[in-house]
Structure 1
Amino acid sequence: MMKFNRRNVLVLGGAAAALPLVGGRALAQDGPLKVGFMYIGTINDNGWNYAHNQGRIYLEEQLGDAVETTYVENVPEGPDSERVLRELAQSGHKLIFATSFGYGDYVLKVAQQFPDVKFEHATGYQRSDNVATYNARFYEGRAVCGTIAGHMSKTGKGGYIGSFPIPEVVMGINAFALAARKVNPDFTMTPVYISTWNDPAREADAARAMVDQGIDIIAQHTDGPAALQVAEERGIVGGFGQGADMSAFAPNAQLTSIIDNWGPHYVEAAQAVIDGTWTSGDRWPGLKEGEVQIGAYNEKIPEDVVAAAEAVKNGQIDGSLHIFTGPINDHTGAERVAAGETMTDEQLLTMDWYVEGVIPPA
């Protein structure tokens, strides 16, 4: 990850520039609504940050001269994020999107100092009068991918490269495993955490180690295409794009992709600020609302497998299927969800256990 440096991470209107360091009082808001975006990685990661930036571009396209956007790349989850948030607020941005989980404490701290600025924290859980949270039901996409994996894996072994063992990631691992085991009850899932959202070398090393262990299908909850590139090189069954279509990097290995469609929410939030109707809250849409989308299926996937994947996707859209409906046992065999019961959102958002078939990290 690039070290924070204003000279090369702040981009305003398409050109590199530095935020002016001003006093403790926010500048008056005249003209268009100034909207700031803070990214943990680069917009060229072809995944998470790319998808958020596509949402920013969509915002500009939809609201035109009513908004002016700024984005800051490569901001680590630490004190640097607090400085960037404060500088965005001080330079007249009245709506700021912080797009990584670890920014949460800093968002709350800066928001207290700028009560007239609206902050939105992606994947967060802490809110206040001027701090909202937003997320997407990525686990619904994992269920589609897991269905494909269950059908296509020749070894019955899947791997999952995760960033950190937070509920959002654990939830994705479990959804993938549950879906795969509905097809192949002997399917196993091996997660590995690399303690970062974006480190191509570590992602690639983890993927190579998985292939060496007989794993022939790999999923990920990290930001770039490195794992897919390894799948392409090693000729295994494949993997899945995360956050965006990554087929350009692995045309044979990408089986499909989970695409994050943030643009409509960014338009809705900005318009609410302009109209004076913005309120704090939490939103968690998924496939039904179009915030989570499934990309094109690789031509090598048999028609019956595509049909099975589509059935899982459409079942989640029409409400006839919820991947976290029991009976569900944990990895020790103990029942966690009784037959016919469906886990609540609160239970999902605090998930810290693995389902049957997942081999926990040592």
Structure 2
Amino acid sequence: MPLHSPARVLFAGVFAACTSLAAAAADPLEIGFVYQSPVSDVGWVAVHESARKQLEKEFGSRIKTRVVQDVKVGPDGARVMRELVGGGAGLVVLGSFGYMNDGLKLAAEEPKVNFIHASGFKQAPNFGTYNARWYEGAYVAGLVAGKVTKSNKLGYVGAIPIPDVVSTINAFALGVKRSNPAATVSVVWVNEWFNPGSERDAANSLIQQGADVIGSGFQDNPAIVQAADARGVWSVGMFSDLRKAAPNKLLTSITHDWTPHFRQVVADTLAGKFKGAAYVGTLQNGGVNLLDWNAAVPPEVVKMAKAAQADIAAGKLNPFAGPLKDNTGKVRAAPGAAVPDAEIAGMNWFVEGIQGAMPR
């Protein structure tokens, strides 16, 4: 048979096509992770990194991940997203609330690329969200904080006043008020996710005003609990195990784990089954949790906290159940009712017992 016979040409074409398909099938799913803060050992980004590294272990050569850290919201964020997609990313993890609108715009332009976005409230067929009810853990932490305070003055350092942060602070204050009606909570905002110096100053300012329990609201470093520990003041951490940073006076940390959700998102993307939806971690599904309580917390207080945690997980206790007023006296939930989930997702008011007003 001649070298260039139709049969040989057809065979060569089929072989080349099959080889190309096999190579394409073997290509790993490229996943881009965009973070608003630097990668560190503790905090918001650290929890993402823990999940990312676990994905690499589980999926092996089927995926390839890339991290871009310390990316500011706005033009920088939009540019980084486009660079990741242009470089072949088939899944992009947007790790900050502020990336929402730029991410949605890019998702509309790139329907074959999947996106998941932290703390957002907008979805599309290829754009999902992931969030957590940190406020459930914060309510339990507030119950304990209300019992250990001696001054009846507690403080909370807030990062940026988005609804997730506000609802967490509110739930903490409600827990405090439930266990200690005489106590009040003062809030100081730093308006940044990562600024150890400002966060330390804010914590020290609250301590100077008499606060003997300090809560940290979504900061991406341990500066607040470190400042409290140095002054012999109780603190409540967020996201990570901060006991090494505050070995003496850390009451607990409100933690979360994105690994189960990220695992499912990657599996769905590989299988072509991804659907943009909203995931919420809770005490019930294990997406939110609390560290073991400091050994100095009285056993009866620990027992109370564990009972409340179990009741929230079982749906028997809602931190935002009425009667509930905001700190201007407006009724937000009547007796027998509760603040709706949609309102919690957009919360921009403080509950009764918090001193100060929401920033404009």
If the length of structure 1 is used for normalisation, what is the TM-score?
A: 0.89
Describe the SS at the equivalent of 1:135: strand
Aligned partner of 1:11 in structure 2 is none
What does the per-residue CA deviation read over 1:192-229, in whole Å, with 9 as the maximum and x for residues that have no partner?
Answer: 11110110000000000000000010111122110101
**Alignment pair present for 1:348 and 2:344:** yes
Does residue 317 of structure 2 align to residue 326 of structure 1?
A: no
**Is 1:249 the counterpart of 2:252 in the alignment?**
no
Aligned to 2:176: 180
User: Do 2:332 and 2:339's aligned partners in 1 also have CA atoms closer than 8 Å?
Assistant: no
- The offset of 1:65, in angstroms, is 2.3
Give the structure with the higher percent helix.
Answer: 2
Q: CA RMSD in A?
A: 1.4
Distance 1:287 1:67 in 2: 30
Is the 8 Å Cα contact of residues 224 and 242 (structure 1) preserved in structure 2?
no
Local SS of the residue matching 1:284: strand
Rounded to whole Å, the distance in 2 between the matches of 1:99 and 1:126 is 15
Letter in 1 for 2:223: A
Alignment-derived partner of residue 69 in structure 2? 73
Aligned to 2:11: none
Structure 1 residue 113 displacement after superposition: 2.5
Aligned equivalents of 1:156 and 1:64: distance in 2?
Answer: 52
Pairing 1:230–2:245 present:
no
Describe how 1:256-335 pairs up with structure 2 within 5 A.
256-335=252-331
Partner AA of 1:180 in structure 2: V
- Conservation of the 8 A alpha-carbon contact between 2:26 and 2:62: no
Q: C-alpha displacement at 1:66, in angstroms? A: 2.0
Post-superposition offset of 1:45: 5.1
**Alpha-carbon distance in 2 for matches of 1:105, 1:154:** 45
- Once residues 35 and 294 of structure 1 are traced to their aligned partners in structure 2, the CA distance between those partners, rounded to angstroms, is 30
Unpaired runs of at least 5, structure 1:
1-27
Mapping 1:137-216, distance limit 5 Å: 137-216=133-212
1:63 to 59, 62, 69: 59
1:347 deviates by 1.3
The question of whether the paired residues in 2 share the 8 Å contact of 1:328 and 1:338 is answered with yes
8 A Cα contact 2:200 2:227, kept in partner: yes
**CA–CA separation in structure 2 for the residues paired with 1:243 and 1:170:** 16
1:233-292 C-alpha deviation (Å, 9 max, x unpaired): 1112x1112110111111012111111201111100000011111101112221111111
**1:18-50: CA deviations, max 9, x gaps?**
xxxxxxxxxx78522111111111221511110
In the TM superposition, 1:41-56 aligns within 5 A as: 41-44=37-40, 46-56=42-52
Query: Aligned pair 1:119/2:118, yes or no?
Result: no
**Could you tell me how far apart the structure 2 residues matched to 1:29 and 1:360 are?**
57
Are residue 37 (structure 1) and residue 33 (structure 2) matched? Answer: yes
Residue number in structure 2 paired with 1:24: none
SS of 1:185's equivalent in the other structure is coil
Give the secondary-structure state (helix, strand or coil) at the position aligned to 2:116.
Answer: strand
Could you tell me how far apart the structure 1 residues matched to 2:250 and 2:180 are?
A: 21
2:203 is matched by which residue type in structure 1? A
Name the count of aligned residue pairs: 334
Residue identity matched to 1:59: L
Q: Please say if residues 186 and 357 of structure 1, whose CA atoms lie closer than 8 Å, have aligned partners that are also in contact.
A: no
Distance across 2 between alignment mates of 1:109 and 1:253: 45
SS of aligned partner of 2:317: coil
Aligned counterparts of 1:351 and 1:186: Cα–Cα separation in 2? 25
Q: Which runs of 5+ in 2 are unaligned?
A: 1-23
Is the 8 Å Cα contact of residues 241 and 257 (structure 1) preserved in structure 2?
Answer: yes
**Contact 2:238–2:255 (8 Å) recurs in 1:** yes
Cα deviation for residue 332 of structure 1 reads: 2.4
Which one has a bigger Cα radius of gyration?
2
